[in-house]
């Protein structure tokens, strides 16, 4: 199945976008969780503070469906 991962901030360094500056198309096995998908492409799950699907907050244990857009947010930084 194909999903789109979107990320911003420091996560784009790990994500290696290929669709646009913030998005990567990923082929994933049916039943894989967001955590498993991230690990398989080299994104440390510990660097992801929030995961959204269709503007809904979900956990790293969420199993995306074919064609879904999964948005990753890093922890808030700054001073």
2-73 placed in CATH 3.10.20.30: yes
Give me the residues paired with residue 24 across strands.
5
- What was the pLDDT predicted at 8? 86
Query: In terms of Cα–Cα distance, which of 22, 24, 43 is closest to 33?
Result: 43
Q: What is the pLDDT of residues 7-66, one digit of tens each?
A: 988 899 999 999 999 999 999 999 999 999 999 999 999 999 999 999 999 999 999 999
Residue ranges covered by each domain of the chain: 2-73
Strands ordered across the beta sheet of 69-73: 23-27, 2-7, 69-73, 50-53, 56-58
Q: How confident is the model at residue 79 (pLDDT cuts 50, 70, 90)?
A: low
Q: How confident is the model at residue 71 (pLDDT cuts 50, 70, 90)?
A: very high
- What was the pLDDT predicted at 6? 97
């Amino acid at each position: 199945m194909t999903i789109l991962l979107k990320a911003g901030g420091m996560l784009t360094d790990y994500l290696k976008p290929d669709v646009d500056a913030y998005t990567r198309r990923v082929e994933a096995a049916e039943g894989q969780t967001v955590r498993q998908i991230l690990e398989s492409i080299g994104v440390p799950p510990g660097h992801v503070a929030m995961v959204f699907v269709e503007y809904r907050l979900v956990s790293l244990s969420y199993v995306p469906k074919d064609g879904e857009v999964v948005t990753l947010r890093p922890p808030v930084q700054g001073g």
